[in-house]
Structure 1
Amino acid sequence: LAASESLTNMGQIGDLPGYYLFTCSNKGEEDISQALAHNPAVTWFEEQGMLGRSKRSLTFNDPKYSKQWHLHNMRTPGMDLNLQDVWAQGVTGRGVVLAVIDDGLQHSLAEIQDNYFPEGSWDVLDEDPDPSPDQGKDNGHGTRCACELVALANNSICGVGIAFDGRVSGVRLLGGRLTDHMEATAFGKHNQMNQVYSCSWGPDDDGKTIDGPRTLGQAALRRGVLVGRGGWGSIYIVASGNGARNGDDCNFDGYANSIYTATIGAVDECGTVPDYAEPCSSLLAAGFSSGGPGKRGIVGIACVLGSGCTEGHSGTSAAAPHATGLLGLALGVRPCLGWRDAQNLLVYTARPVVGDLNAAGFTHNPFHGFGLLDAWRLVTTALVSNTLHSGMFLGSSIHCSLTCNHQKQNDVRCCPDPLLAVSAPLDLLYTLEHVTISVRLAHGRRGNLRLSLRCPSGTVSHLGGPRPLDVPSISNQMSVPFPCTYIRHLTVWHPALLEKKFPVA
């Protein structure tokens, strides 16, 4: 047959029996087609033509997308949020509402106006439903954070948001007077509609402040995780802070060390921890942000008075919304995730970096937490993970008054370890997610002290200090969670105090 029609047999096609590829030389294609069509030995034939196929990669016409290295880092591959395959699966935040508690939200900007969710918004300062910032001041911080979350894709403006098909609410809290009751209002505002609250702010990063939510704010956070989202619990994301240059750390930040929040640190485009990023034992993971000289910042809206773009959004303020956006993507595919599920996802799916391996097999360090945020790992795990049952809060009624007998070792004066062994019956406990220690100390110079806690498995967490600028005497209570998991039966905790002597200016 091939010879009669001047065809050359190129062989069997793949492993398909009875299918062969032929090429023709002398006779015209139309003549060959006619001959094959009338030949009873041929059951099927088709002239092969070029097919149009394209890779399942995303393209955007947003002019700054190529500079959004935290979304797709071409200069240092792997140092990004690993979003491409998540987006390619159609997971873009549709149906999710994320809230930004900050200095306001300029929702009229073209980059976010179509994704603005007015029903979840509120101005706590002016007590009205419009969260637009004060136009007379530099109040573009919240708008930049919101653009990181839901900036519209393919609108030829600036860049692309992590959950670019999601919705964003604005809760204006900063930029004016601020009281405990106002914070409490913000933490609970529209908590049946808003799913994740992004908070890129906290106490002063001056290296000498201890502060956090007061009585009403703490109560609002607790109520949010208990009743928000129809009982699944509101999810709160906070930034670790930018005060490391002042010797500060987020152990002294009551928002960062609350068990009801997830604290996020930062690395730069090369994976290096910037010199401003505060460490602490309660840090869960690190997002991406600006670094030292020559390192790129995060693309956002330049100012609230126009629609200009900036490539200089920076600090842990820029990193915390990355966790908010990733959890928004996860809620888009698994809306029934609880607040503890969200925190566990951050822990289990973070890409580990250097750190101490604890007895539960997790790597943790106070600068990266459990590792770098990873969208693919987080979203795919959210699809298949079991949701957690209701948690238990167990406390000890033991109170002790202690006096240290200092032993000088070079410049450090140490209290013997263990300073105190605390036991509590926890026979029903299988997994321990948080340990909170409340301490009240009397000392002439608070910044000289470092408090550490060793759990039964041997994990040691440093719960604060020393801070050279922190000169006041101490009479404060700190509540600090730290990672120590999978503990059964009786637990014996070993606090330790160290005193560091700083030179007097």
Structure 2
Amino acid sequence: MTPNDPLYANQWHLRMLGNIETIWNDYTGAGIHVGVYDSGVDYRHPDLKTRYDATRHVVVDGRVLVPDPDDSPGNENNWHGTGAAGLIAATGNNRTGVVGVSWGASLTGVNILGKTSPAYLNDPDPVGFLSAIHQMTRFDVTNGSWNATPGYASTFQNLNNPSAFAARLAAEYAYVSANGRGGLGTVIVQSAGNDDLDVNGNGTNVTRHNITVAAANQDGFVSSYSNYGSSVLLTAPGSETEGSIVTTDRSGTAGRTSGDYMGNYNGTSAAAPIVSGAVALMLQANPNLGWRDVQTILALSSTHTGTRIGASQHSAEENNFWQVNRADTWNGGGMHYSNDYGYGMLDVYGAVRMAEAWKHFSPTAQTSANEVRFSTGNLTVNGNNYIPDGSYLNVTLNVTASMILEHVDLTLTFRHGNFNFVNIYAYSPEGTRVLLHDGSTGEWNTAANGLTWTFGIDSLRGEAAAGTWTIQFVDTYPETADGFFTNVELVAYGTRPTADDVYHYTDELVEMSALNAARLSLNDTDGGIDWIDAAAVTGNCFVNLGPGGKTTIAGKEIAMGSGVIECAVTGDGNDVLVANSARNTLVGGRGNDTYLLDSATDAVVEKSGQGADTVIASVSYRLAAGQSVETLLAANKTGTARIDLTGNELVNALQGTNGANRLDGGRGADTMTGLGGDDTYVVDNARDRTVEAGGTTGGIDTVLASVSTVLAGFVENLTLTGTAALTGTGNGHANRMTGNTGANVLDGRGGRDTMAGGRGDDTYVVDNLGDLILEAAGQGRDGVRSGVNYALAAGQEIESLATTRDAGTGAINLNGNEFANTIRGNAGANILAGKLGADTLTGLSGADSFLFNSGLSSRNVDHITDFSVRDDTIRLDDAVFTQFAVGTLASGLFKDVGNAGARTDADDRILYDHRSGGLYYDKDGSGVSKAVLFAVIDTKALLTFQDFLVV
């Protein structure tokens, strides 16, 4: 998203951070708390007041540190903290002023630079300051846009002096890293400083617990003032000395300018809060990152800037060349590093996308608790320890620790007559040279009487610690002085080696492979569960995990070796991920991704709202719950292999092959296409849709439905499942429909359908004379509703038979069977025949006929509930009523025996008693056979011979 803040267009630094607007579509730092350790914060500022959190104020000596800037004399830079706060989290998209990097994060000011603050940084005894640092655990991220000029000051900056400020501060940083964020560690961001000196001369920047940030200008080259060194982690925009970064100022005339905003903020003081804002975005994207994870991600995602790698000459602002360390999992090889820039320019886009993906391949947070540490102990340099004038001394030491490096503390004890004419290097076992001291920092006599100093190394991430290290002293100016190197201790920090490798790729693969084409091959040789991490890549990726296959990342083709890599995660592009024979986990990220799978155990991970994604499976496959994959296809759709596909609770589109597939969309409103073959569809959502081929290619297809369902065209069979009362509706074809144990309604629609309701009180809708209804005895009370003439089949226990609409006027004739049926007509002229069994016949309005055409017995007595003398007729089949001629019943054959004084004679065959409604047939008049009751007229209507018709 593009914020609507009026000064956003002037914030050039935001456009140097990768595609931050894309990140703002997803994250703004919401829920992340940032402590601004500075000169106070103008929390009433219109761009800061909605972001300010006063509930996290630090308390020192019982006093709440009110964040107001100090206006007392000597605090002319009291606008400084407000500027830093705006860079971190000035409210975005509020049509006001500027935008912070994480404009949804919360801010709390901690005034350590105000001279009247009880936590004043420069107090001779900084107990209050250290107390405030101790309370950094209140925050997820802290920003320190301050530092001391590197100078190797033993009483102030030396980590080996326990009473020195730097050592005491380092101890607090260690505590905060171990205990902040519930043990995940507060992330501490620190400015490198603005002295154009080596940060190793200040113990505050040496400690591994803080992120040391250098500054660069708008052209990407390091700012001329920015401190440098082997413990710089990365760079962010800071602008040149005159300053051009736009941010918040103290409101009104109290600040650096006369308005609420300033356009001349600069320095590593600007670079650090930009990184702090980026970290807030990362932590919102993945709240489970440990503090060490954050540092690793920033290093992996930072981009090359300044002079090109491999150049023979660097710019005037730069003090160092770029180099590449000997790691082997970043863009096909080692990581670029410069003492000027650290690992490079902050890339917010890459850092946040990598943070999101981190949980897949690094689910255990890297914290103080699980950090691996190895120390050689304090070793005495035996043998030659002389640093000759105008020459060099190499001293080696062997490290046996099996670990992968993140940080190294190298403590050296030496003396030299002119510290400014000594360069100190460390060579890793894998051959990377690290410049620890270049003679620029400190005084000529800093080591004249001996110096024990700890140098921090952040440039060896990803290298192995084990092997022979070399410490090199180079005397750069003959005929001045010499020295001695007496003691060394190497302390390595990192992780245990693992065969579970993660190969990280970014858009910089293009630049790095141009330097070394060997980066375009990938072969894992040590087993384990391995990952390709291309989450930070902005374009489309084609990741083929098959051995010997071709993978394309950032537009570069990578040859895959014979080693097996099991898993991959890609970024925002429309990516294609191809599985191999292993158990794969594939994460496509945003974009319209396609997965090609060959095993039912392959896992696809897709979050909602991250594009329209497709899985193509060459085996039967089930989508895991919660994975937002829209389309699931069987590979080779023209083939005849049986591939069964199962969706999940979301809306899926499934497509089979020309074979006999089982397609189950899951609980969402799914579309299932079977193509050819005898397919089975599982329908569990009323909005599920099935699509079948017509003609001879479509096969005989079946829907298994646990919800009421209407069959789509060219689907032949329907089976209702479960126990719910469901309605099953056919189509124009001859359907076979089977109910469940509930009370179903089965409606065949059009074709010659076969319907079997099973248990439950079922209702059948008939619209074709050829419809067949199957109901076994004892399976509920069942009914048929017919829109055509219909006769119940023999042997089917169906209790009721009726027309589909009582108000209809169509002449629909209904015939029961040998069971006791209740038969009901409509408003038309119906012929109703109960057949065998004690039936109940209701004609409703219309001129209805009640037909008796089955053998008479005491078990075959029908009730006519609504006989109308005016309209209705009783029809007698001459095959049963053998004494009658076809036509209107002769008057002499009928007698109402209910009339007073009525007597029967030998001619009376149809006897009626209007008092009871009983209707009898006496086949031989007054002969030996008794009259047989065959019907009861419930209305007790006054019948005459004219109400009977012999057919």
Asked if Structure 1 and Structure 2 have the same fold, meaning a TM-score greater than 0.5 normalized by the shorter chain, the answer is yes
1:21-170 matches, cutoff 5 A: 57-60=1-4, 62-72=5-15, 79-89=16-26, 91-122=27-58, 127-136=63-72, 137-138=75-76, 139-170=78-109
Do the aligned residues in 2 keep the contact of 1:149 with 1:164 (CA within 8 Å)? yes
Separation in structure 1 between the aligned mates of residue 336 and residue 223 of structure 2, nearest angstrom: 20
Do the aligned residues in 2 keep the contact of 1:290 with 1:297 (CA within 8 Å)? yes
Matched, 1:414 2:384: no
Q: Secondary structure at the match of 2:400?
A: strand
**1:299 aligned partner:** 246
How many pairs were matched up?
Answer: 425
Matched, 1:452 2:428: no
**1:492 aligned partner:** 468
Per-residue displacement from partner, 1:275-297 (whole Å, max 9, x unpaired)? 1111101111110011267xx62
Do the aligned residues in 2 keep the contact of 1:452 with 1:464 (CA within 8 Å)? yes
Per-residue displacement from partner, 1:331-368 (whole Å, max 9, x unpaired)? 11211110000100111111134321111010001111
Q: Which runs of 4+ in 1 moved over 6 A?
A: none
Tell me the amino acid that sits aligned with residue 350 of structure 2. R
**2:186 aligned partner:** 234
- Of residues 194, 210, 226 in structure 1, which corresponds to 2:139? 194
1:327-476 matches, cutoff 5 A: 327-353=279-305, 354=309, 355-360=322-327, 361-385=334-358, 386=362, 387-389=364-366, 390-401=370-381, 404-407=385-388, 413-416=390-393, 418=394, 420-427=395-402, 429=403, 431-467=404-440, 470-474=443-447, 475-476=450-451
Which segments of 5 or more consecutive residues in structure 1 lack a partner in the other structure? 1-56, 73-78
Q: Secondary structure at the match of 1:480?
A: strand
Q: Secondary structure at the match of 2:371?
A: coil
**1:32 aligned partner:** none
Q: Secondary structure at the match of 2:170?
A: helix
**1:173 aligned partner:** 112
Separation in structure 1 between the aligned mates of residue 92 and residue 443 of structure 2, nearest angstrom: 46
How far apart are residue 388 of structure 1 and its match? 4.2
Do the aligned residues in 2 keep the contact of 1:180 with 1:215 (CA within 8 Å)? no
The 1:252/1:126 distance shift into structure 2, 3 A limit, reads: farther
Per-residue displacement from partner, 1:14-46 (whole Å, max 9, x unpaired)? xxxxxxxxxxxxxxxxxxxxxxxxxxxxxxxxx
Tell me the amino acid that sits aligned with residue 182 of structure 1. G
Per-residue displacement from partner, 1:306-342 (whole Å, max 9, x unpaired)? 6521111101110111111101001112111100001
The 1:440/1:406 distance shift into structure 2, 3 A limit, reads: closer
Which is worse superposed, 482-491 or 441-450? Answer: 482-491
Separation in structure 2 between the aligned mates of residue 343 and residue 380 of structure 1, nearest angstrom: 15
Separation in structure 2 between the aligned mates of residue 364 and residue 486 of structure 1, nearest angstrom: 12
* More strand per residue: 2
The 1:187/1:489 distance shift into structure 2, 3 A limit, reads: closer
Give the number of the structure whose alpha-carbon radius of gyration is greater.
Answer: 2
Tell me the amino acid that sits aligned with residue 342 of structure 2. G
Separation in structure 1 between the aligned mates of residue 42 and residue 263 of structure 2, nearest angstrom: 18
Q: Secondary structure at the match of 2:55?
A: helix
How far apart are residue 218 of structure 1 and its match? 1.8
Tell me the amino acid that sits aligned with residue 249 of structure 2. A
Q: Secondary structure at the match of 2:377?
A: coil
Do the aligned residues in 1 keep the contact of 2:405 with 2:465 (CA within 8 Å)? no
Per-residue displacement from partner, 1:223-263 (whole Å, max 9, x unpaired)? 1111111000111111111111xxx2212121222111111
Do the aligned residues in 2 keep the contact of 1:173 with 1:182 (CA within 8 Å)? no
**2:453 aligned partner:** 478
Tell me the amino acid that sits aligned with residue 231 of structure 2. S
Separation in structure 2 between the aligned mates of residue 340 and residue 489 of structure 1, nearest angstrom: 17
Separation in structure 1 between the aligned mates of residue 187 and residue 206 of structure 2, nearest angstrom: 15
Per-residue displacement from partner, 1:130-189 (whole Å, max 9, x unpaired)? 122212332111111011011112444321111111101111112324234334222221
Separation in structure 1 between the aligned mates of residue 472 and residue 380 of structure 2, nearest angstrom: 14
How far apart are residue 404 of structure 1 and its match? 5.0
Per-residue displacement from partner, 1:177-233 (whole Å, max 9, x unpaired)? 423433422222151x3011111111126x675754434322111111111110001
**2:262 aligned partner:** 310
Q: Secondary structure at the match of 2:68?
A: coil
Tell me the amino acid that sits aligned with residue 424 of structure 1. V
Separation in structure 2 between the aligned mates of residue 448 and residue 119 of structure 1, nearest angstrom: 52
TM-score for the superposition, normalised by structure 2: 0.43
Do the aligned residues in 1 keep the contact of 2:239 with 2:266 (CA within 8 Å)? yes
Do the aligned residues in 1 keep the contact of 2:191 with 2:268 (CA within 8 Å)? yes
Tell me the amino acid that sits aligned with residue 58 of structure 1. T
Higher relative contact order at CA 8 Å, sep ≥6: structure 1 or structure 2? 1
Tell me the amino acid that sits aligned with residue 477 of structure 1. T
* More helix per residue: 1
Matched, 1:286 2:238: no
**1:36 aligned partner:** none
Provide the alpha-carbon RMSD of the alignment: 2.5
How far apart are residue 488 of structure 1 and its match? 4.6
Separation in structure 2 between the aligned mates of residue 283 and residue 397 of structure 1, nearest angstrom: 25
The 1:94/1:490 distance shift into structure 2, 3 A limit, reads: closer
Separation in structure 1 between the aligned mates of residue 11 and residue 52 of structure 2, nearest angstrom: 22
Separation in structure 2 between the aligned mates of residue 391 and residue 239 of structure 1, nearest angstrom: 24
Separation in structure 2 between the aligned mates of residue 166 and residue 301 of structure 1, nearest angstrom: 16
Which segments of 5 or more consecutive residues in structure 2 lack a partner in the other structure? 116-121, 158-164, 310-321, 328-333, 481-951
- Of residues 185, 205, 212 in structure 1, which corresponds to 2:131? 185
How far apart are residue 468 of structure 1 and its match? 6.7
Separation in structure 2 between the aligned mates of residue 189 and residue 356 of structure 1, nearest angstrom: 38
Residue identity over aligned pairs, in percent, reads 24
Do the aligned residues in 1 keep the contact of 2:233 with 2:343 (CA within 8 Å)? yes
